[in-house]
Amino acid sequence: MKAAATLSPPASGMPIRTVNHSKGYFCTMPENARLQSLLQEDEHQFMEALFKTYFPLVCKSIYRLIPDMATAEDLAQEVFIKIWNRREQLNEVYFKAYLHRAAVNMALDHIDKHKRRGGPHLEIGPTQEELPGPAPVVHLKETKAKIQQAINQLPEKCREVFVLSRYEEMSYKEIAQALQISVKTVENQMITALKKLRVSLKEYLE
Amino acid sequence: MFNNDHIDALIAREIAGGLTAAEKAELEAWLQEAPANRAYYEAMRQTWDLTANAYDNMPEPDIASNWERFQEKMTAPSPLRVVVKRRNTWRLAAAAIVVIAVAGLVFTLLRQNSSTTVVTADNDKKEITLPDGSRVFLNRNSEIRYDEGFASKHRTLKLKGEAFFDVQPNADHPFTVDAGTSHTKVLGTSFVIKAYENKPVQLRVVTGTVAFSGSRHTQDALVLSAGSGAILQHDKAPQAVKEADPNFLAWKENHLVFNHVPLYKTLHTLEDYFNVKFVVADSSLLNIDFYASGFDNPRLQEVLNVIMVAANVKITEERKGVYTVSR
């Protein structure tokens, strides 16, 4: 796969999918205007405001693809360093969407490099068959941890597709572009992910 | 029938993509065909729904510490890379530093007899009289170096950090300071240059006239007279600064004044003067504007007490040298 590391903002014609919770892209428009005016006035203050507003968002997007907080933080830092180095070209940028895409690209690129170097694989841990049986009492927090675990155990491409669709709110077309695969493959991987998750999470279903 | 790729694609699109009216009708027809079809679809749908909030409890990154870490990198020259915290990397880096340090020492020893270096430490300021009679006040963490023949053959010196120069007139040899990418050329005048590594070079002229230029030398030289200042961002042309920071010479004069400046500027001034750090969690505090009269030989706690009252904020020492500003 070609590294998807370029920090390019989503093309202006690309539809930004509305987010289904209250903090949608739309509601934060005044925030963007504020950041843009700060960028003109004082780039250090701009950077501080941008960082403090969006660092968690960037970090969490990366974490969902690379479930290790220390690595996610390192990569999130790199995202903001790239932004800082390009601060003179950000005049038209819609920051939230831009940072989100940069975070996803940074994570995918990291996974890619990791693979090429033959480093430790991300999908460690027992396979689905080896997963322990259902616990007698299931707490909500444990459920979430189990679901994360199940997602992390999906095959790499499958997991990327699922996470990008489920949590990064990306359309199949956007995912296909980011991963350099066809929309058809994205759809196939999506169903594969759901089938595998249904098996590994069967104790929580029905 | 269960492994029908086309139906799978329709289900995938229905769940997280989007169906056209025709596709919707097609899927609906398939669902009606057999209860098993609907069960299959429901299983996929339920799995999707189950995963909705899986990451709600994920660890929160610490913004303050990450911002602090980021700030350090922000001031480094581009392009920047994050140093990934892995033990082996550190060991390698440590080995590399030793090699570089040894090489640097050898280099310095070899050159020593041909140049003079004056260095100040973290909590140290120095006043030096140069061979030509010019005086230099060196702020902390700074260094000046000049080669053999200073005064008789040339008047060129290199500066790292911050220094105030009071230059003896000498029309034969212009006095030149190379600091970062900047060149400052004067005849007889006094001025201050702030050129810490990885930060823009700043200049303030106190008396007389100076020519200030960047790495493209004289092409973009700015001629500045008493009372004016300039800033040079790495690799760019120098720019005149309209509003001078009244505290530019605070380190030398031991006098601070805050005349209706926003809090962030005040904090920058204090960070420089007292060699401390401030962490402001709430960015809305940064623009609080306040007045505080002049401080002579200021002590940090005294200044902080005044700011807390004048700007109505709380400032607490989080750990040695790091202060948190909050409401």
Q: What does the alpha-carbon distance between residue A157 and residue A185 come to, in Å, rounded to a whole number?
A: 10
Q: What is the pLDDT of residue B189?
A: 80
Phi and psi dihedrals of B126, rounded to 5?
A: -135, 150
Q: What is the pLDDT of residue A14?
A: 37
What pLDDT tens digit does each residue of chain A (206 aa) get? 433 443 344 443 333 333 333 333 444 457 788 888 888 888 888 999 999 999 999 999 999 999 888 899 999 999 998 888 888 888 778 888 889 999 999 999 998 887 655 444 444 333 333 344 444 444 566 788 889 999 999 999 999 999 999 999 899 999 999 999 999 999 999 999 999 999 999 888 86
Residues B113-118, mean pLDDT to the nearest whole number: 75
Q: What does the alpha-carbon distance between residue A135 and residue A162 come to, in Å, rounded to a whole number?
A: 26
Q: Report whether A69 contacts A56 (CB < 8 A).
A: no
Q: Report whether A94 contacts A32 (CB < 8 A).
A: yes
Taking Cα atoms as reference points, which of B283, B54, B61 lies closest to residue A58?
B61
Hunting for tokens 């002229």 — which residue is that?
B205
- My answer on whether A105 and A157 are in the same domain is no
- My answer on whether A33 and A93 are in the same domain is yes
Of the two residues B11 and B199, the one the predictor is more confident about is: B11
Print burial letters for B61-89: b (CB count within 10 Å at least 16), e (below 16).
bebeebbebbeebbeeeeebebeeeeeee
Cβ <8 Å between B12 and A45: no
Which residues 17-76 in chain B show a CB within 8 A of chain A?
17-18, 43-44, 46-48, 50-61, 63, 66-67, 69-70, 73-74
Q: What is the pLDDT of residue A162?
A: 95
Q: What does the alpha-carbon distance between residue A136 and residue A133 come to, in Å, rounded to a whole number?
A: 9
Q: Which of A74, A93, A122 is the last residue of a domain?
A: A122
Which residues in A lie closer than 8 A to residue B69 (C-beta atoms)? 77
Which residues in A lie closer than 8 A to residue B12 (C-beta atoms)? 172, 187-188, 190-191, 194
Listed in sequence order, the residues at least 6 apart from B232 whose beta carbon sits closer than 8 Å to its beta carbon are B180, B181, B182, B200, B201, B202, B203, B212, B214, B238, B239
Tell me which residue in B47, B59, B82 faces A78 most closely, judged by beta carbons: B82
- My answer on whether A100 and A160 are in the same domain is no
Which residues in B lie closer than 8 A to residue A45 (C-beta atoms)? 264, 283, 286
pLDDT in tens, B117-156: 888 877 778 888 888 888 898 888 888 998 888 888 889 9
- My answer on whether A98 and A43 are in the same domain is yes
- For residue A90, how many other CB atoms are within 10 A of its CB? 19
Q: Which two tokens stand for residue B241?
A: 């600064």
Can you give the C-alpha Rg of chain B in angstroms? 31
- My answer on whether A118 and A128 are in the same domain is no
Q: What is the pLDDT of residue B100?
A: 62
Q: What is the pLDDT of residue A57?
A: 93
Furthest CA-CA distance within chain A: 59
Q: Which of A66, A87, A122 is the last residue of a domain?
A: A122
- My answer on whether A12 and A101 are in the same domain is yes
Q: What does the alpha-carbon distance between residue B263 and residue B279 come to, in Å, rounded to a whole number?
A: 12
Q: What is the pLDDT of residue B272?
A: 85
Q: Which of A122, A149, A166 is the last residue of a domain?
A: A122
Tell me which residue in A74, A81, A166 faces B51 most closely, judged by beta carbons: A166
- My answer on whether A101 and A173 are in the same domain is no
Cβ <8 Å between A77 and B73: yes
Q: Is A22 exposed, middle or buried (0-12, 13-18, 19+ CB in 10 A)?
A: exposed
Give which of B20, B45, B51 to mutate to test A binding, by max A Cβ within 10 Å: B51
- How much of chain B, in percent, has pLDDT values that exceed 70? 84
Q: What is the pLDDT of residue A124?
A: 39
Q: What is the pLDDT of residue A140?
A: 62
Cβ <8 Å between A69 and B61: yes
Q: What does the alpha-carbon distance between residue A81 and residue B180 come to, in Å, rounded to a whole number?
A: 22
Angle between helices B5-16 and A172-179 (to 10 degrees): 110
Give which of B58, B69, B88, B278 to mutate to test A binding, by max A Cβ within 10 Å: B58
Query: Which residue segment(s) compose the domain that A180 sits in?
Result: 123-206
Taking Cα atoms as reference points, which of B262, B312, B260, B315 lies closest to residue B286?
B262
Cβ <8 Å between B5 and A147: no
Residues in chain B, total: 327
* pLDDT exceeds 50 at position B220: yes
The Cα of B80 is separated from the nearest Cα of chain A by a number of Å equal to: 7
Cβ <8 Å between B47 and A52: no
Listed in sequence order, the residues at least 6 apart from B138 whose beta carbon sits closer than 8 Å to its beta carbon are B118, B120, B125, B126, B127, B128, B144, B161, B162, B163
SS3 A147: helix
The Cα of A119 is separated from the nearest Cα of chain B by a number of Å equal to: 14
- My answer on whether A138 and A44 are in the same domain is no
The Cα of A1 is separated from the nearest Cα of chain B by a number of Å equal to: 23
Listed in sequence order, the residues at least 6 apart from B166 whose beta carbon sits closer than 8 Å to its beta carbon are B134, B135, B136, B190
Strand order in the sheet with B277-280: B277-280, B322-326, B314-319
pLDDT in tens, B14-39: 988 788 888 999 999 999 998 999 99
Of the two residues A177 and B88, the one the predictor is more confident about is: A177
pLDDT in tens, B48-83: 999 988 888 788 889 988 998 888 877 655 443 344
Q: Report whether B205 contacts B185 (CB < 8 A).
A: no
Q: What is the pLDDT of residue B169?
A: 82
Residues B86-96, mean pLDDT to the nearest whole number: 55
Cβ <8 Å between B61 and A198: no
Structurally, chain A folds into a number of domains equal to 2
Q: What is the pLDDT of residue B228?
A: 82
Give which of A7, A23, A52, A163 to mutate to test B binding, by max B Cβ within 10 Å: A52
The Cα of B259 is separated from the nearest Cα of chain A by a number of Å equal to: 20
Q: What is the pLDDT of residue B117?
A: 83
- My answer on whether A16 and A90 are in the same domain is yes
CATH of the domain at A21: 1.10.1740.10
Which residues in A lie closer than 8 A to residue B79 (C-beta atoms)? 85
Cβ <8 Å between B54 and A184: no
Q: What is the pLDDT of residue B218?
A: 57
The Cα of B8 is separated from the nearest Cα of chain A by a number of Å equal to: 6
Cβ <8 Å between B54 and A147: yes
Please give the single-letter amino acid code of residue B12: A
CA neighbours within 13 Å on the CB side: how many for A69? 9
Structural domains in chain B?
Answer: 5-50 (no CATH), 117-241 (2.60.120.1440), 250-326 (3.55.50.30)
- My answer on whether A3 and A33 are in the same domain is yes
Which residues in A lie closer than 8 A to residue B277 (C-beta atoms)? none
Q: What does the alpha-carbon distance between residue B255 and residue A180 come to, in Å, rounded to a whole number?
A: 61
Q: What does the alpha-carbon distance between residue A62 and residue B216 come to, in Å, rounded to a whole number?
A: 42
Q: What is the pLDDT of residue B79?
A: 40
CATH of the domain at A144: 1.10.10.10
- My answer on whether A128 and A165 are in the same domain is yes
Q: Which two tokens stand for residue A81?
A: 């360093």
- My answer on whether A79 and A98 are in the same domain is yes
Judge if the upstream peptide bond of residue B79 is cis by omega within 30 degrees of 0.
yes
